[in-house]
Chains A and B, each alone.
Chain A
Amino acid sequence: MAGAKSALVLCMDVGFSMSNSGPGEEPPFELAKKVIQKFVQRQVFAETKDELALVLFGTDSTKNSLDKDDQYQNITVHRHLMVPDFELLEEIENQIHPESQQADWLDALVVCMDLLQTETKEKKCDRLNIVLLTDLNTEANSEQLDVIIENLKQAGITLQFFLPFPAGDDEEGGGDADGRDPGQPGTGKGLSKEQKSGLDMVKHIMLSLDEEDGLGEIYSFRKAIEQLCMFKRIERRPMAWPCQLTIGSCLPIRIVGYKAVTEEKLKKTWTTVDAQTNQKDDVKRETVYCLDDDNETEVQKDDTIQGFRYGSDIVPFSKVDQDQMKYKHDGKCFAVLGFSKQSMVQRHQFMGTQVIKIFSAKDDEHAGVALSALIRALDELNMVAIVRYAYDRRSNPQVGAAFPCIKRDYECLMYVQLPFMEDLRQFTFPSLANNKKFTPSDTQLSAVDSLIDSMMLVEGDDQKDIFKIHHIPNPAFQRHFQCLHHRAVSPGTPLPPMEPWLKAALERPDVISERCQAPLEEIKRKFPLTEVEKKKKLKTSAQIFGKDSEEPDAKKAKGDEEEEEYSLADIAEGSVTSVGSVDPARDFRTLIRKKSLPFGEVCQQLTRRIEQLLSNKNTHYYMKSITCIQAFREQSVKLGDANLYNGYLQSLKRSIPNRGLEVFWDLLVQDAITLISKDEVEGSTVSKNEANQVTPLFKPV
């Protein structure tokens, strides 16, 4: 860890020529400033330990340690070597302006070298780098060039140049070599004499430092901005997982695994702060436990134990017991269970969230040969190894497939997790082919055919992929950092819109959009699509009225009957003015909750409905009546008013024989609906014993 940091000097030309630009072009100064901003931004959010200094040249004033007798004039060390922060970003934003002098860029380079050498003495830096941004428009004194190159070499300092124009068309492998840069402003031809000789010098330096790739470190401003626009993708150091691949008990092969593909997450998460003070410490979250009774009696966490549901049972099962009894295994493992045809393992059965690449152990060529034999054997037979994989003793073992993977410059096994029996859901779906209504006609099929033709994302004979997803940075991260950066440097302003390049990166490529216009129109004509008016939808969205309807929301996962009942009541609330016949129990509850009518009145409405229902001698109506009586009882207990209910039930009971409602009464008894006792509601005149006895004892013969 220690010492693995680099030191870098940004050296920017702010002289007057930097402000010159052709009509409609952005001056080089602005472009160079953008490059610096983007670069620093990236460093800040990456929170690297790398240190950074900023040197400006062409400044009106002079401030550097080499400043002596007219030497090294108009060069300012704006910031010494330190970790970049938002302050620096603000300074770049507000304090760096075009100035009116010119300075020798080689002098500036020397200042930077001196700065690096003096300021890194006490620090351990393993990389020293100078980045020069200039238009090369000042004549540079080339006398010292060789000395400078020699010094750079000795100190191990690397250089990068950023220029307003590409380093030249003739040079293959240059920073812009692959760019056809149409309309690149300030391209080669319009260079001044100074710029031409400057460019030659730059090339000379770069090639002397690195014969092969030297010119690769010369960039144009535009290209650099394009590349820096993306926040650096999240990189993680691959962690080696050494293990042994085993086949049976006596054939081990030493291997090492690396995560090759996995969904990357942002490293930082949001913390909750107080809106006024912005202090995290001012906010505390606390979880309390309470019993499921009316008072929601709180209990201490220590007074709770752990349990698990086993169907309708809840089994107390302490953590200690659980650990004792849980499945245990021998830890780290990559053991072959057998081999199977690759076609038996289908792509859509892959489970888990990662792909692991398995190589042979480092510095063990015998293991290398053994693994290679396995990889090639599998490849030639089109087979795959089914393995048991366990990361370590604490993690759960998996079953997975190890595919052979032979690339031009390496070979490995690729491990993916496969499903357990418990993970699978065997859904059947109605056949599409057997249903005449859904069978597309030949003309419909050919319309789809031409749509596919027009929308192929590959081109050329070699089928070059023109829309590679794995080259697109995760847009969520890009947007996240864009907003964070904006909020950090311009607090108090609304968040910016999404950057255009990001939006464009997620869209259909222009070629495709153009090509598919006509086939799409054809599809539209050939396939009538009509949105189905949802009568039912009204109801469902109404059910969750008040919460956000429509969206499948994670929060709604709870599937609580209770909650649903309330939301049902919610919608009813608006319209319920009396106890209706459709769902009298619900209406009754709603009215009581709303308190718009006196309790006695609502009860009377309910009992009227019950009587009405009971005049139909049918089980269904009996059930409904019972629900009403249950609601009556429940609300009476809640409101502590037992008299109306008890009175009604007793009178109902008396009327049973005359009305021939014995069957109904039996149901009521089965459902254990009793009078409300003194224990439940104080005002009741019925003792608990009586209450329990009243209904069953009653024999209406």
Chain B
Amino acid sequence: MAEWNAYYKNEDDEEDQEEGELSGGDYKITGRDSLVFLVDASKEMFIKGEDGEPSNFDMTMQVVRSVYTSKIISSHRDLVALVFYGTEQSKNPRNSFKHVYVYHDLDEPGAKRVQDADALRGSKGAQLAAKTMGSSETSLGDALWCCANLYSDIKLRLSQKRLMIFTCRDEPHGGDSVKDRQARTKANDLKETGVTIDLMHLMKPGGFNVASFFRDIVSPPEDESELGLQLEPCAKLEDLQKRVRAKEQKKRAMARLNLCLGEGINVAVGIYATAVSARKQAPVRLYRETNEPVRSKTRTFHTQTGSLLLPSEIKKAQVYSKKQIVMEKDEVDAIKKFDDPGLVLIGFKPMEKLKRHHHIRPAVFLYPEEDEVKGSACLFSALLTKCSERNVFALCRCIARRNYPPRFVALVPQKEEVDEGKAQITPPGFNVIHLPFADDIRTLDPPQCPVASQIQVDKMKEIVSKLRFKYRSDAFENPVIQQHYRNLEALALDMMAPEDMEDLIMPKVDQIDGRLGPLVDEFKDLVYPFNYNPDSKPAAKRKTAGTGGGAEKKPKVEIPEDELRAHMQNGTLGKLTVPVLKEACKQFGVRTTGTKKQELIDALTERLGS
């Protein structure tokens, strides 16, 4: 759901709203993505780790579940299947394969499937698996063949076919060369039909030897390096999750453009959205009687004659100082056109010229497209190397799509980084930072403020140090979206109540208070006068210097409880002033966030009325 167009949405007129609702994916390729989880169900998979670490099977099921839910949120049209091999029982479309158990056929994931995957987690899950499927001999060849059938049974156009093998056995057939050979043949057949096979090898005592068997099974990595095979087996759930995530999300360019360095020097690049604000999906309209989805059609018609208007029969207009200015629809588009889409290099600047506050949009990512212009990757790589070596960024003019006005962008070099397990943490390429124009920067009138003394600053430093943590960009879930999907899940599965959700972006006030201890009061003593009340409205204008701060008589605003109750019963709370109401709130321990009179009254009534 790379909503590149979403950024521009408001620039167009009302017609675009319709499109917005439908923006399910913004790619030129249509067709579905598909993913088959082929999971080893042998006994070895169920062995629990030391110290109660989850078994490999358990870990795999957790990952499967999380992929299911994330697909539901982000790309519900993708097809996913779950197949076990090495099982006692067999279950597959024509039951022609033994020891292969198709748990979920290739289909869109739904609430039921999440439940199913859930049921296979933990020790209960292991029991369930043993009961329904059991473990027995293995023929990976049959399993792959069966998966091939799953693919061929799909009549939809598939844009990506991926198969992930989860196993902790590097020699699944125990040296049976016939079976090994058969598996290799079937793997090749699959690869020929465009299926990418990945290995998610899991921890095994004695180490997992990829080379002995699986080397010939998996698809070669994109960059022809040995990278894929050097990966260490996954021991931790997090690692596995990350590794699966990285493969499972198909990267698609939002746009393919030329980066023009000069006359005739065009590097083909793809633009990728690496972070897009996830939003609640747009609702679907359903027919009340049957709950079936309805389609909406928007028509433009003439008010008087009632006849439908063709695009040629309408024009666009704006009114300025009572004068209507009319243009053809084409002209409106033409005004926005400055040039054909593309990136044009203007020059380079040192990194410190990129101001942190020049931010108007999330960044996107640039990577060469060798398939479009041969030689792109080499020049791109040279630019990347040199820019990062010299600590400069490239300034470009960017027209992202046809009839989009230009923007300037900074191409900031990013070098590749890998973790200990040789898995990529950051990919090599340029981050594209959109820069603001003069119109986008607002003139503020910064207030004159006193500067803190070093003692005060030092005290705050202590506070800051007490509350240090390591920020990770993937540490916070969006509570709004999580709640929404939990609600949907509860409704879809007829649950009594939605699953509880922890709001990760809520400050852990108690912990913070505990950690800070007396520091808070020490700091407050240093900066705030005695009795300073930050909740009061702009404290009396500039307290006379020298006096002990806010100790001066504040008008008594307290009100006896019975009087307040009387007001409430008579519905005359409104007669009281805001400070009085606020004080009353405090008195009764009513927490209010509002400052409006009505909000205070409501809060009070709620408290006292109950």
Chain A contacts of B459 at CB under 8 A?
373
Chain A contacts of B94 at CB under 8 A?
666
Stretch with Cβ within 8 A of A (4 or more), from B47-55, B164-172, B296-304, B569-577 = B296-304
Contact A424 B318 (CB under 8 A): no
Give B337-373 interface residues, CB cut-off 8 Å to A: 338, 341, 345-350, 353-354, 356-363, 365, 367-368, 370-373
Q: Mark B376-391, 1 if CB is under 8 A from A, else 0.
A: 1111111111110010
Stretch with Cβ within 8 A of B (4 or more), from A60-68, A200-208, A216-224, A265-273 = A265-273
CB distance from B349 to the nearest CB of A (A): 5
Contact A238 B444 (CB under 8 A): yes
Chain A contacts of B347 at CB under 8 A?
455-457, 467, 508-509, 512, 516
Closest to B466 in A: A339
The answer, yes or no, to whether B10 is at the interface (CB within 8 Å) is yes
Chain A contacts of B149 at CB under 8 A?
619
Chain A contacts of B242 at CB under 8 A?
426
A526 and B607 alpha carbons, distance in the complex (Å): 78
Closest to B507 in A: A335
When the two chains form the complex, which single residue of B317, B359, B381 contacts A261, counting CB atoms closer than 8 Å? B359
When the two chains form the complex, which single residue of B442, B458, B464 contacts A236, counting CB atoms closer than 8 Å? B442
The answer, yes or no, to whether A682 is at the interface (CB within 8 Å) is no
A402 and B442 alpha carbons, distance in the complex (Å): 19
Contact A431 B5 (CB under 8 A): no
The answer, yes or no, to whether B554 is at the interface (CB within 8 Å) is no
When the two chains form the complex, which single residue of A340, A418, A531 contacts B470, counting CB atoms closer than 8 Å? A340
A281 and B468 alpha carbons, distance in the complex (Å): 61
Chain A contacts of B125 at CB under 8 A?
none
Q: Mark B456-477, 1 if CB is under 8 A from A, else 0.
A: 1111110111011111111111
| A552 and B287 in contact, given A249-B509, A381-B464, A429-B427 (Cβ under 8 angstroms) | no
| A564 and B157 in contact, given A307-B283, A554-B19 (Cβ under 8 angstroms) | yes
Chain A contacts of B327 at CB under 8 A?
270, 483, 487, 495
Q: Which of A234, A315, A362, A531 has the most chain B CB atoms closer than 10 A to its own CB?
A: A315
The answer, yes or no, to whether A412 is at the interface (CB within 8 Å) is yes
Listed from nearest, the 9 A-B pairs whose CB atoms lie closest are: A430-B223, A476-B405, A368-B449, A410-B446, A312-B108, A340-B471, A248-B512, A348-B431, A373-B452
| A270 and B317 in contact, given A368-B450, A420-B278, A421-B477 (Cβ under 8 angstroms) | yes
Closest to B423 in A: A428
Q: Mark A679-694, 1 if CB is under 8 A from B, else 0.
A: 0000000000000000
The answer, yes or no, to whether B71 is at the interface (CB within 8 Å) is yes
A384 and B464 alpha carbons, distance in the complex (Å): 9
Contact B363 A440 (CB under 8 A): no
Contact B326 A306 (CB under 8 A): no
Q: Which of A85, A357, A476, A623 has the most chain B CB atoms closer than 10 A to its own CB?
A: A476
A233 and B439 alpha carbons, distance in the complex (Å): 5
| A305 and B378 in contact, given A348-B433, A465-B349 (Cβ under 8 angstroms) | no
When the two chains form the complex, which single residue of A45, A260, A311 contacts B109, counting CB atoms closer than 8 Å? A311
Contact B424 A428 (CB under 8 A): yes
Contact A529 B373 (CB under 8 A): yes
A359 and B292 alpha carbons, distance in the complex (Å): 52
Q: Would you give 8 A-B contacts (Cβ < 8 Å), ordered by A?
A: A261-B357, A274-B313, A316-B286, A348-B433, A420-B481, A428-B247, A432-B384, A557-B5
Contact B363 A310 (CB under 8 A): no
Give A409-449 interface residues, CB cut-off 8 Å to B: 409-412, 414, 416, 418-435, 437-440, 444-445, 447-449
When the two chains form the complex, which single residue of B12, B156, B278, B325 contacts A422, counting CB atoms closer than 8 Å? B278
The answer, yes or no, to whether A354 is at the interface (CB within 8 Å) is yes
| A347 and B302 in contact, given A273-B315, A369-B452, A557-B22 (Cβ under 8 angstroms) | no
Contact B402 A527 (CB under 8 A): no
Contact A431 B416 (CB under 8 A): yes
CB distance from B189 to the nearest CB of A (A): 11
Contact A258 B442 (CB under 8 A): yes
When the two chains form the complex, which single residue of A83, A273, A308, A465 contacts B284, counting CB atoms closer than 8 Å? A308
A403 and B406 alpha carbons, distance in the complex (Å): 29
Closest to B357 in A: A355
When the two chains form the complex, which single residue of A268, A405, A418, A440 contacts B382, counting CB atoms closer than 8 Å? A440
CB distance from A443 to the nearest CB of B (A): 10
Give A552-579 interface residues, CB cut-off 8 Å to B: 552-561, 563-564
Closest to A359 in B: B447
A345 and B384 alpha carbons, distance in the complex (Å): 22
| A371 and B274 in contact, given A304-B294, A532-B372, A552-B27 (Cβ under 8 angstroms) | no
Q: Which of B22, B113, B397, B464 has the most chain A CB atoms closer than 10 A to its own CB?
A: B464
| A423 and B278 in contact, given A311-B109, A470-B436 (Cβ under 8 angstroms) | yes
CB distance from B598 to the nearest CB of A (A): 13
The answer, yes or no, to whether B227 is at the interface (CB within 8 Å) is yes
The answer, yes or no, to whether A250 is at the interface (CB within 8 Å) is yes
Contact A352 B28 (CB under 8 A): no
Closest to A355 in B: B357
Closest to B401 in A: A552
Q: Mark B312-325, 1 if CB is under 8 A from A, else 0.
A: 11111111111111
| A349 and B275 in contact, given A86-B323, A275-B314, A309-B284 (Cβ under 8 angstroms) | yes
Contact A282 B303 (CB under 8 A): yes
A471 and B284 alpha carbons, distance in the complex (Å): 44
Stretch with Cβ within 8 A of B (4 or more), from A124-132, A288-296, A642-650 = A288-296
CB distance from A316 to the nearest CB of B (A): 6
Contact B469 A360 (CB under 8 A): no
The answer, yes or no, to whether B246 is at the interface (CB within 8 Å) is yes
A439 and B379 alpha carbons, distance in the complex (Å): 9
Contact A432 B377 (CB under 8 A): yes
A439 and B13 alpha carbons, distance in the complex (Å): 47
A252 and B371 alpha carbons, distance in the complex (Å): 57
Chain A contacts of B160 at CB under 8 A?
none
The answer, yes or no, to whether A538 is at the interface (CB within 8 Å) is no
Contact B428 A432 (CB under 8 A): yes
A172 and B264 alpha carbons, distance in the complex (Å): 47
A268 and B327 alpha carbons, distance in the complex (Å): 14
Stretch with Cβ within 8 A of A (4 or more), from B34-42, B203-211, B520-528 = B520-528
Chain A contacts of B360 at CB under 8 A?
261-263, 353-354
The answer, yes or no, to whether B225 is at the interface (CB within 8 Å) is yes
The answer, yes or no, to whether B609 is at the interface (CB within 8 Å) is no
A627 and B281 alpha carbons, distance in the complex (Å): 34
A376 and B304 alpha carbons, distance in the complex (Å): 67
The answer, yes or no, to whether A147 is at the interface (CB within 8 Å) is no
The answer, yes or no, to whether B111 is at the interface (CB within 8 Å) is yes
A602 and B176 alpha carbons, distance in the complex (Å): 53
The answer, yes or no, to whether A698 is at the interface (CB within 8 Å) is no
When the two chains form the complex, which single residue of A309, A350, A470 contacts B362, counting CB atoms closer than 8 Å? A350
Contact B262 A311 (CB under 8 A): no
| A397 and B325 in contact, given A285-B298, A307-B286, A340-B470 (Cβ under 8 angstroms) | no
Contact B288 A426 (CB under 8 A): no
Chain A contacts of B295 at CB under 8 A?
289-292, 296
Contact A369 B527 (CB under 8 A): yes
The answer, yes or no, to whether B43 is at the interface (CB within 8 Å) is no
CB distance from A422 to the nearest CB of B (A): 4
A530 and B267 alpha carbons, distance in the complex (Å): 10
Q: Which of B249, B321, B341, B416 has the most chain A CB atoms closer than 10 A to its own CB?
A: B321
Give B9-23 interface residues, CB cut-off 8 Å to A: 10-16, 18-19, 22-23
A411 and B431 alpha carbons, distance in the complex (Å): 29
Closest to B284 in A: A307
CB distance from A495 to the nearest CB of B (A): 6
The answer, yes or no, to whether B309 is at the interface (CB within 8 Å) is yes
A564 and B28 alpha carbons, distance in the complex (Å): 11
Contact A430 B221 (CB under 8 A): yes
The answer, yes or no, to whether A213 is at the interface (CB within 8 Å) is no
Contact A337 B298 (CB under 8 A): no
| A380 and B315 in contact, given A274-B302, A386-B471 (Cβ under 8 angstroms) | no
Contact B314 A272 (CB under 8 A): yes
| A361 and B538 in contact, given A246-B507, A312-B108, A529-B375 (Cβ under 8 angstroms) | yes
